[in-house]
Amino acid sequence: MRVDSHQHFWRYQPSEYPWMKEDWPIRRDFLPGDLEPWLASSGLTRSVAVQARQSLEESRWLLDLAERHPSIAGVVGWVDLRNPAVARDLEPLAAHPKFVGVRHVVQDEPDEHFMLQPAFLRGLETLQGFDLAYDFLVFPHQLPAAIAVARRFPKQRFVLDHLAKPRIAAGEREPWTSLVRQLAECSNVACKISGLVTEARWKAWSAQDFEPYLEVVFEAFGPRRLMFGSDWPVCLLAGSYADVYGLARDYVARRDPAAVEAIFGMNAVNVYRLPNG
């Protein structure tokens, strides 16, 4: 199975996606039929659909799409982990074989210690009981909290989205490098090679811009804890699907040809425990 481990679907409504600016070309519907030709042209067969707005309704909608489209291997949805009744929300979702993880948009939380709040930690403890992954969506300054959480729950599977969004356009490497290396010391954390082009100079980046950051995560996580994700359609703000896939594929093929199958497929299958078929 060849997998794009990170993409989004939505039926665009301005009130539901306030983070999209008025001049962005992604302010329209993006559905499985739009993605599937790009998967096929890249030699990929499945994808993991990730939440883009924080609602149970969206999680259910993504699962409905997954039932109707075999190309969707798994769904990373959202529940309010701070809710004392979070188990009640998780039970029907987790019963679906394609519900494989949960994500909260922590990058938008003003408190950099948001994930260390007692209510959130209790929610993660509950999540661990459902054997689901948790995706970290954080900026570099929020990595210390992610490190603390990963250490606190050594049996919980975690996935770092978008390399924690280093400031590639500014060429900034510290403290991101040191913090990512600390997080990678937690063997229960995997990392997605995703979301790079939108952290660079949109439409003005070159492949060389990303190599220092890719080298850090390749050395820190190793080829068994990295997975490719396109971040489609958000990636379209700064490049095409083919650009994003080619950037990652060329780097991995040059860096460690034997790792291509793992990073573009089996690692996502193993980390998210994706169902076959």
Residue ranges covered by each domain of the chain: 3-272
CATH classification (class only), 3-272: alpha beta
Task: Give the SS3 label for residue 3.
Answer: strand
pLDDT digits (tens, 9 = 90+) for 119-167: 999 999 999 999 999 999 999 999 999 999 999 999 999 999 999 999 9
**DSSP class of 21:** -
* Pairwise CA distance, residues 131 & 56, whole Å: 19
Task: Give the SS3 label for residue 98.
Answer: coil
Provide the whole-model pTM.
0.97
Instruction: Give 108's Cβ-side CA count (13 Å radius).
Output: 8
Task: Give the SS3 label for residue 69.
Answer: coil
Cα angle vertex 110, ends 109, 116, to 5°? 70
At 277, is the pLDDT very low, low, confident or very high (cuts 50, 70, 90)? low
Mean pLDDT of 23-44: 97
pLDDT digits (tens, 9 = 90+) for 117-131: 999 999 999 999 999
Q: Is the pLDDT of residue 208 over 80?
A: yes
Q: Which residues lie below 8 Å from residue 85, measured CB to CB, with a gap of 6+?
A: none
pLDDT averaged over the chain?
A: 97
Q: Is the dihedral of CA 259, 189, 39, 250 positive or negative?
A: negative
Chain centroid to Cα 203, Å, comes to 22
Can you read off the two tokens belonging to residue 51? 């939440």
CB 212 within 8 A of CB 177: no
Instruction: Give 19's Cβ-side CA count (13 Å radius).
Output: 7
